[in-house]
């Protein structure tokens, strides 16, 4: 019997607005680099992993300017090079500077609050398991998620990103449930599905864009379908 449902945050419950891949592709074009938003979307997870690792090593915003700019430049380079295009460190830094000027905010998907309310109505425990850092509390308050969450576990506090088992095991401890009593919903196969499955959770992949790819796990296209697995 399912006793807890855990969700990933980014691209599962909430998304960046404006969309980062389209924004970065537009900025790249301004810098004379032709790259598609789709290619950048593929490169962002690895670039984000680099950013989290650097932030975990030492908070980026608190570093000296030269070190801070070096991280910005490398992050921008990883986005572009991961998308298959050549770029210079200066272009990487310019891209981040332009992106910061635009600014990004999180917005909730239309199905996020309804599913949280429905799971809570069924008296199940609800958790968040995310690679996003310590800012997660503010995001959840701003988006209206906080009243429905029983606990949150982040890579920042655990010291490891998904798919490492430590982050999932801490969630099970917080929920005080067994792995086979827990559903985890996320949008990344390697990070979310394999990570959750590795500790024995029921893993569900949300494929919002209906990519048409084949996966060896439960796949849904909107969060309302989570109810089918409870």
Q: Domains of the chain, with CATH numbers?
A: 4-15+107-229 (3.40.50.1000), 19-103 (1.10.150)
The pLDDT value given to residue 133: 73
The pLDDT value given to residue 86: 95
SS3 of the chain: the string is CCCEEEECCECCCEEEECCHHHHHHHHHHHCCCCCCHHHHHHHHHHHHHHHHHHHHHCCHHHCCHHHHHHHHHHHHHHHHHHCCCCCCHHHHHHHHHHHHHHCCEEEECCCHHHHHHHHHHCCCEEEEEECCCCCHHHHHHHHCCHHHCCEEEEHHHHCCCCCCHHHHHHHHHHHCCCHHHEEEEECCHHHHHHHHHHCCCEEEEECCCCCCCCCCCEEECCHHHHHHHC
The pLDDT value given to residue 210: 87
The pLDDT value given to residue 73: 97
pLDDT along the chain (230 residues), means of 10: 98 96 97 96 93 89 95 97 97 96 96 98 98 87 98 92 96 98 96 97 95 91 98
């Amino acid at each position: 019997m399912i006793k807890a449902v855990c969700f990933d945050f980014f691209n599962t419950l909430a998304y960046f607005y404006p969309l980062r891949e389209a924004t970065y592709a537009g900025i790249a074009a301004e810098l004379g680099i032709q790259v598609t938003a789709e290619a950048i979307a593929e490169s962002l997870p690895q670039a984000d992993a680099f950013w989290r690792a650097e932030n975990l090593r030492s908070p980026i915003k608190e570093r000296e300017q030269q070190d801070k700019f070096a991280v910005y430049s490398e992050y921008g380079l990883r986005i572009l090079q991961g998308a298959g295009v050549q770029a210079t460190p200066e272009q990487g830094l310019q891209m981040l500077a332009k992106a910061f000027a635009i600014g990004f905010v999180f917005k909730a998907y239309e199905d996020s609050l309804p599913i949280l309310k429905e799971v809570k109505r069924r008296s199940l425990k609800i958790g968040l398991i995310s690679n996003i850092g310590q800012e997660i509390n503010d995001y959840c308050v701003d988006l209206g998620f906080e009243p429905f969450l029983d606990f949150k576990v982040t890579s920042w506090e655990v010291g490891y990103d998904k798919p490492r088992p430590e982050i999932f095991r801490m969630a099970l401890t917080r929920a005080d449930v067994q792995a086979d009593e827990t559903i985890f919903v996320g949008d990344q196969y390697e990070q979310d599905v394999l990570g959750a499955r590795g500790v024995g959770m029921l893993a569900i992949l949300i494929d919002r864009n209906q990519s048409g790819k084949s996966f060896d796990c439960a796949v849904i296209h909107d969060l309302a379908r989570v109810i089918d697995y409870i």
